[in-house]
Amino acid sequence: MGGSGVCRAWGGGQGQCWHSPGMRWVVRPALSVSPGALLAAAGDPKPLGSASLLPPSQVIICFGIAVLLHQYVGFALVALLVEINSIFLHLRQILLMANLVHTTCYRLNSLINLGTYVVFRMATLAWMSRWLFLNRHNVPPAAYAVGTLGMAIMTPMNIILLYRLLRSDFFKSRGDVRREKEE
């Protein structure tokens, strides 16, 4: 299977999405640069410790398949949609570090963050899991294993992150509310 579900859905044939002159100059750099950004981010200390290195390595393998083998390019491009939400997650961290939690900017970012999280993370991962399941007979076993492992790692991690975001930004505990009133 040379192309991807997305390219075929748009009328592209075997690898046509990759080789079309207009797309080649956009797709290849986007898929090639993203793993580098993930590696840079993996160097930062994170609360998940060594488990936080699993998603970047999985993404590098998946994007590597798209870039090096010219297969599943559309699938990899859809995976990049998740990074749209990363903008607002990083802005949230910056606002937290700047101690701007009680500002309108933080509240607005929280709402946009939640909306982009649901649309660009949860819905995208759900679509990717569904596409992988529906096309399991057309995908070689090695690529299917990589994709399934990626979804098995990323989906629970994103559900936990959504829970943590909701709890910290929207559903504050009684202790948090008491501490805020004391300040």
- Please state the rounded mean pLDDT for residues 134-139: 90
More confident residue, 168 or 50: 168
Residue 109's pLDDT is 96
What are the Cα distances from residue 66, in Å, to 14, 72, 147, 156?
A: 13, 5, 12, 24
Question: Which of 78, 176, 65 shows the shortest CA–CA distance to 121?
Answer: 78
Query: Coil, strand or helix: which one is 91?
Result: helix
pTM over 0.85? The answer is no
The share of the chain scoring above pLDDT 70, in percent, equals 61
DSSP secondary-structure letter at 103? S
For the residues of 47-78, what is the DSSP string, one character each? TTGGGGGHHHHHHHHHHHHHHHH--SHHHHHH
Residue 68's pLDDT is 75
Residues 6+ away with beta carbon under 8 Å from 77: 6, 27, 30, 31
The share of the chain scoring above pLDDT 90, in percent, equals 31
Question: Which of 154, 2, 168 shows the shortest CA–CA distance to 81?
Answer: 154
